[in-house]
Copies of this chain bind each other. A is one copy, B any other.
Amino acid sequence: MAFQLRLNAAVAVDVVVLTVRADTLCALAVRRRFEPNRGGWALPGGFVLDGEDLPAAALRELTEETGVSLDRMHIEQLATYGDPGRDPRGRVVSAVYLSLAPALPDPVAGSDAAGAEVLPVARLQAEGLAFDHSRILDDGVDRARAKLEYTPLAASLCGPEFTVAELRRVYQAVWGTTLDPRNFHRKVTSTPGFVTPTGRTTARDGGRPAELFTAGTADYLHPPLLRPR
């Protein structure tokens, strides 16, 4: 007697894409075209296809719904949400991925979405998100805040080349704090593998040109860059 697998849930993926725009922590959201919560905001996502890996499904749904493609950007699994009541349509278990992306091109809504935008996290949380997506977004922000302490991932939120001041503004936007520019500069440039100098400088108006850096090679910061408590 062979074991017969019983399909007991609809597995979905959602994506929290965080980015910094105008010194403000923003997230990518879509307007729902269908019930439940039609017309409201939600995280981009959808159901996994047969034979499709979870990360691949996350990237596919993201592109389908928002036109955003995350090639070469940081993406990691955030958590999985499977509360029986989280989706009124039935048992949906959603694996959620977190991406930290530099300045994104303006998203374009796909056929499943009535709109797609990059909005400040605070505004999204004030307006509320469908399902348990408000909670998920919170979890994503918490994770990002923590990871900035002990990884060089903040560089993922900058462009390919960036200045120390840009990196500092990323930290400030994500953490919601201010950081001393002098101490931050010393910390960033003295932590091995955090950033790599390019030798080039920015052309700036009305100030000394800043040195340009690329992301370093380290996976973790030693010692970490702890946020003020």
Bound-complex Cα distance A90 to B8 (A): 12
- Binding stretch for chain B, among A22-30, A80-88, A129-137, A204-212: A80-88
Q: Mark A150-178, 1 if CB is under 8 A from B, else 0.
A: 00000000000000000000000000000
- State whether B82 touches A53 (Cβ < 8 A): yes
**In the complex, which residue of chain B has the Cβ closest to the Cβ of A94?**
B80
CA gap between A53 and B91 in the complex, in Å: 10
When the two chains form their complex, are residues B52 and A84 in contact, meaning their CB atoms are under 8 A apart? yes
From the candidates B50, B82, B92, B93, name the one contacting A91 in the complex (CB within 8 A). Answer: B50
What does the 1/0 interface line of A1-34 toward B look like (CB < 8 Å)? 0010111111100000000000000000000001
Q: Is the CB of A54 closer than 8 A to any CB of chain B?
A: yes
* Bound form: Cα–Cα A210–B11 in Å: 52
Per-residue CB contact flags for chain A residues 57-80 toward chain B (1 = under 8 Å, else 0) read 000000000000000000001011
- How many positions in chain A have a CB within 8 Å of any CB in the partner chain? 35
Q: How many copies of the polypeptide does the oligomer hold?
A: 2
Q: Could you tell me the distance in whole angstroms from the C-beta of A9 to the nearest C-beta in chain B? A: 4
- Would B3 and A34 count as touching, CB distance under 8 A? yes
A61 to chain B, nearest CB (A): 14
Instruction: Report the minimal beta-carbon distance from A136 to chain B, rounded to whole angstroms.
Output: 13
- Chain B residues positioned under 8 Å from A92 (CB to CB): 5
A47 touches B8 (CB 8 A): yes
Q: A11-B11, A80-B80 are in contact. List 16 more A-B contacts (CB 8 A).
A: A3-B34, A3-B35, A5-B91, A8-B11, A9-B9, A9-B10, A9-B11, A9-B48, A11-B93, A50-B84, A53-B82, A54-B80, A54-B82, A93-B93, A223-B226, A224-B226
Shortest Cβ-Cβ A-B pairs, 10 listed: A5-B90, A7-B7, A80-B80, A54-B82, A9-B11, A51-B84, A80-B95, A11-B93, A5-B10, A5-B89
Q: List 28 A-B contacts (CB under 8 A).
A: A3-B89, A5-B92, A6-B10, A6-B47, A7-B7, A7-B8, A7-B9, A8-B10, A8-B48, A8-B49, A8-B50, A9-B10, A9-B11, A9-B48, A9-B93, A48-B82, A51-B84, A51-B91, A53-B84, A54-B82, A54-B93, A77-B80, A80-B95, A82-B95, A93-B93, A93-B95, A224-B224, A224-B226
